[in-house]
Amino acid sequence: MTAATETPAAVTAVPRASGAAVIALARFETRRLLLRAPVLAAFAVYIGWTVWRTRTSWDGFPALQDADRATQGGPLLVGLAVLFCANHAVLRSRRHDTDRHLDVLVVQPWRRTVAHLLSVAAAALLTGVCVAGQFTWEALKPGAVGHGSPGELLAGPLSVLVLGTIGVLLARLLTSPFAAPLLIVLLFFLHTVATAPDNGHTVRWLVLTVGENTATTLPSDLLGRPAAWHALYLTGLALTAALLAVLVSGGARLRTVRAGVVGAVALTLVGAVAQGQGVSRETTEARVRASAAPEKEQKCAERDGTTYCVFPEWTVRTDDWAEAVAGVRSLAGGAARDRPLLVRQRIEARYGLDGDAAIAPATRPGQVTVGTAWGGNRVPEFTAAVAGVLVAGTEAKAGAMCDGRMVTVMWMALAGRPDPVADLRRVRLDDSDRGSAIVLSQTEPLRMTAAQTELVRELLRRPEREVAAKVKAEWAGLTAPKVTSDQVAALLGLDEPEEKDECL
């Protein structure tokens, strides 16, 4: 045993240091909370899963108004772990019977509760950093368009805060260790009930995060989601739980705490009511305008003989579209090569994000419809639509087309792509490259017969230059209405197709 020759001057506590003591205790509790196995595991799963998904999300062309919503799911896992561990931490002195000892120390129990709440806030802050990282990654992708919403981005960290404060409150109310697991099951259940599709708007938004089961992207002003009010509601909920926990652990004597509880409850109610109002009239009208008469909202730009009329957030993508159009045009022959095209972006926003209605094909000559998504399968679908319009004249006629012209259309759509046969599979509904199938597009799908598929495959095997020269030379014959597949084969110097040539 070391004998100190001179006891160093003892440390005396400075009066009015209670705030600093709470901060010191909060640092202590934060370190313990963030190093607990469930929290670490939750963060690991959350970060790992997010990184894995964000690598290939939206094929590299995210719309930021979708990316901000995508940050909301992962933090719920972290929130549950924080609930469990914060509950455990507050019950620690009860479990090990140290209350007798700790209650006579200077820092009162309600201040200890505040320290636990601050540790939960630190976990929420860490979640916020992860959310910011995920969103920044999406925003920095070269194909990103649109605007994110701060309210949506805050929902994830605020959910962690709400769940953590509820865990602390529960520990102060019920000292049994089985309360927290049962509460988690109850919360799961309430979430399922509230998000059942038949429920009204008000109930639906009472849960922590409201997802949209959709792959549609809309302009950010048409979304109709009360993100900011929801963030306010979540803040109110977290503050209510936190202040109630302080109240219950002995802070009831302080007037500020009592007033704070009342204020927090009021905040929560304001948020809950405001977020439950449903889609506002202005948004509904804007949605109708954008769907029925988009030309009033859109900006037009011209590139190489093609006009692109798009919603304001998508103007940065014009170059990508122009590249695709140019690729198809270069393979066309005859007058089609220089025909002026109008690429108009169209959406169906009248049913909000849930709507999945198809867009009617354009009947104006030379108009191609493009959607809000890009990358991956959307690119060959677009080039197929462009090729269809170049050959058939209008989108409506291209959809109705079922003759040998499809061979030319599909070859033009795919030949310029880096991996044409793979794109052929992706653009068809059943992911096949043999037999007849439907070709997906933004509006009406196109149809290919088995014979046409065989011819297209054969063409894609030949060198592109050779086929391009033939196509340009025989353009008139290839694009004559009602030309059969056999005739097309003959014009292009291919064997007659063996497969059937019946339209679906």
Partner 1 sequence: MPWRAVGAAGVLGLLLAAAPRLTGDQADGWYALTVLRASALAFALGAAFALDDPARHTTAAVPTRRAVRHGLRVLLVVPVAAVWWTAALLLVPAPVRPPVAGITVEAATALALALAGAALAVHRGDGARPGRAVAGGLLAGAVLGPLFAPGHWALFVPPDDERWAAAHDRWAVLLCAAVAVAVVCATEPRRRLGRRGLRSPSGTSGPSRA
Partner 2 sequence: MTPTVSASGLSLRYGGTRALDDVSLRLSTGVTGLLGPNGAGKTTLLRVLATAVPADRGAFTVLGHDPGTSRGRQELRRNLGYLPQTPGFHPDFTAFEFVDYVAILKEHTDRAARHREVRRVLDEAGLGDVRGRRIRKLSGGMRQRVALAAALVGDPAFLVLDEPTVGLDPEQRMRFRELIARAGEGRTVLLSTHQTEDVAMLCHRVVVLAEGTVRFDGTPAELTARAADRVWSSAERDPGAKAGWRTGLGTFRNVGDPPAGADLLEPTLEDGYLLTLDGADTEVTA
Binding site for partner 1 (CB under 8 A): 1, 38, 41, 45, 77, 80, 84, 88, 176-179, 181-182, 184-186, 188-189, 192-193, 196, 198
Least gap, CB of 17 to partner 2 (angstroms): 5
Q: Which of residues 189 and 481 has its CB atom nearest to partner 1 in the complex?
A: 189
Q: Go through 480-493 and write b for each residue having 16 or more CB atoms within 10 A of its CB, e for each that does not.
A: eeebebebbbebbe
User: Rounded to the nearest whole angstrom, what is the least distance from the CB of residue 249 to partner 2 in the complex?
Assistant: 14
Of 504, 503, 502, 480, nearest to 491 by C-alpha is: 480
With CB under 8 A as the contact rule, the residue among 24, 41, 193, 292 that binds partner 2 is: 24
Is there binding between residue 14 and partner 2 (CB under 8 A)?
A: yes
**Tokens at residue 109, please?**
């129990």
Please return the burial class of 267, using the count of CB atoms within 10 Å of its CB with bins 0-12, 13-18 and 19+: middle
Q: Which of 40, 44, 102, 429 binds partner 2 (CB under 8 A)?
A: 102
At its nearest, how many Å lie between partner 2 and the CB of residue 11? 5
Q: Which is nearer to partner 1, 178 or 281 (CB)?
A: 178
User: Which of 55, 100, 255, 465 contacts partner 2 by CB under 8 A?
Assistant: 100
From CA 194, how far away is CA 200, in angstroms rounded? 9
Distance in Å, CB of 123 to partner 1, minimum: 17
Looking only at the bridges linking them, the beta strands covering 437-439 and 299-303 are unpaired
The CB-of-180 to partner 1 minimum distance in angstroms stands at: 8
Interacting residues with partner 2 between 178 and 207 (CB under 8 A):
none
When asked if residue 104 is in the footprint of partner 2 (CB under 8 A), the reply is yes
Give CA–CA dist 149/227, Å, rounded.
8
2 lines the binding site for partner 2 (CB under 8 A): yes
d(CA 219, CA 222): 6
| Of 105, 153, 98, nearest in space to 128 by CA | 153
Using CB under 8 A, which of 76, 80, 87, 112 touches partner 2? 112
Compute, in degrees rounded to 10, the torsion defined by CA atoms 259, 264, 266, 269. Answer: -160
Stretch that binds partner 2, among 22-30, 121-129, 232-240, 378-386 (CB under 8 A): 22-30
* Distance, CA of 54 to chain centre: 10
**Per-residue burial over 274-313, b = 16 or more CB atoms within 10 Å of its CB, e = otherwise:** ebbeeeeeebbebbeebbeebeebbeeeeeeebebbbbeb
For residue 45, the minimal CB distance to partner 1 (Å) is 7
Minimum distance, C-beta of residue 152 to partner 1, in the bound complex (Å): 22
Q: Does 33 bind partner 2 (CB under 8 A)?
A: no
Residue 230 in contact with residue 206, Cβ under 8 Å? no
12 counts as binding partner 2 under rule CB under 8 A: yes
Residue count at the site for partner 2 (CB under 8 A)? Answer: 34
Answer yes or no whether residue 77 interacts with partner 2 by CB under 8 A. no
Round to whole Å and give the CA distance between 263 and 122: 23
Residue closest to 66 by CA, chosen among 216, 254, 168, 178: 216
Q: Are 258 and 203 in contact (CB under 8 A)?
A: no
Among 4, 37, 185, 196, the residue binding partner 2 under the rule CB under 8 A is: 4
Please choose, out of 11-19, 314-322, 330-338, 396-404, the segment that lies near partner 2 by the rule CB under 8 A: 11-19
List interacting residues with partner 2 (CB under 8 A). Answer: 1-2, 4, 7-8, 10-15, 17-18, 20-21, 23-25, 28, 92-93, 96-107, 112
